Amino acid sequence: MLTTLTLALALGQPDALPEVAPPPRLVGPLINFAPVPNGYRVELSRRGVERFRELLESTDEKQAASALRELAKKKRAGETPDDAAAGKLELLAFVAGSQIPALRAELRDKAGPGGAVITVTGLQKAELPIPADRPRLKRAAGLVQGVLPLLPADARDVMLGLSAMSRTTPLAWRVEPRQ
């Protein structure tokens, strides 16, 4: 009894070989966070990359930067001027105007079959930047730190990644394919 494979090889027609489907992939979350030295890593599944790319495609970076600059002007000219907040908004406006097109292109070019990994590095603070006028938030963060060793490894990595994300001032990022 001849199989299709044996017949195709015997006739010298490798193009007649049956097509093999790719191996199945494990189903995981759309997005996952993990800490890295001086920053954090964002792992996006293939579907997560598609959703993030849709968001970036629908975002007009010039309009977003303009809106952030207007907010900064309002912060400076308000009843209680806040130059620190206005400066942060100006920085966000610059980042939105210059980095969204680059991130959009990198995700389009470098996303792999399993998604993409975005690694962000920069300056990291030792503690979470919680304002002094938010004592409940400070207590909640302390409780989370206390139960962190009791969490499963994957949940602990996500919590540490989110903590690293809130403590990091980004200076550089890169996108790599995820297999």
Domain finish residue from 113, 134, 164:
113
Looking at residue 41, its pLDDT comes to: 93
SS3 assignment, position 31: strand
Assess whether 101 and 136 both reside in one domain: no
Looking at residue 39, its pLDDT comes to: 92
Angle at CA 29, nearest 5°, toward 51 and 162? 90
Is there a domain that residue 83 lies in? yes
Domain finish residue from 56, 90, 113:
113
Assess whether 68 and 34 both reside in one domain: no
Q: Is the pLDDT of residue 155 over 90?
A: no
Q: Is the pLDDT of residue 24 over 90?
A: no
| Predicted confidence band of residue 119 (pLDDT cuts 50, 70, 90) | very high
Is there a domain that residue 14 lies in? no
> What is the average pLDDT across 155-179?
88
Assess whether 39 and 50 both reside in one domain: no
> Token pair 């996108």 is at which residue?
175
> What is the average pLDDT across 151-175?
88
CA pair distance 101, 119, nearest whole angstrom: 17
In the beta sheet, which residues pair with residue 43?
32, 117
CA pair distance 58, 52, nearest whole angstrom: 10
Looking at residue 116, its pLDDT comes to: 93
Cβ contact 179:114 at 8 Å? yes
CA pair distance 154, 42, nearest whole angstrom: 14
Give the domain extent around 75.
46-113
> What is the average pLDDT across 102-122?
91
Is there a domain that residue 87 lies in? yes
- 40-72 pLDDT, tens per residue? 999 999 899 999 889 888 888 888 888 888 988
Assess whether 39 and 81 both reside in one domain: no
Helix axes 83-110, 61-77, angle to 10 degrees: 170
Q: Tell me how many domains the chain contains.
A: 2
Assess whether 178 and 91 both reside in one domain: no
- 85-110 pLDDT, tens per residue? 788 788 878 877 888 888 889 999 99
Assess whether 171 and 86 both reside in one domain: no
Q: Is the pLDDT of residue 4 over 80?
A: no
Sheet holding 168-178, edge to edge: 31-36, 39-44, 115-124, 168-178
Q: Is the pLDDT of residue 22 over 80?
A: no
In angstroms, the first-to-last Cα distance of the chain is 39
Is there a domain that residue 10 lies in? no
Is there a domain that residue 150 lies in? yes
Is there a domain that residue 19 lies in? no
Higher-pLDDT residue of 147, 86: 147
Alpha carbon distances (Å) from 91 to 20, 21, 27, 48, 171: 50, 47, 37, 27, 12
Domain finish residue from 93, 113, 133:
113
Assess whether 123 and 179 both reside in one domain: yes
| Predicted confidence band of residue 17 (pLDDT cuts 50, 70, 90) | low
Is there a domain that residue 9 lies in? no
| Predicted confidence band of residue 1 (pLDDT cuts 50, 70, 90) | very low
Is there a domain that residue 7 lies in? no
Cβ contact 54:111 at 8 Å? no
The torsion region of residue 152 among left (phi > 0), alpha (psi -120 to 50) and beta comes to: beta
Assess whether 95 and 132 both reside in one domain: no
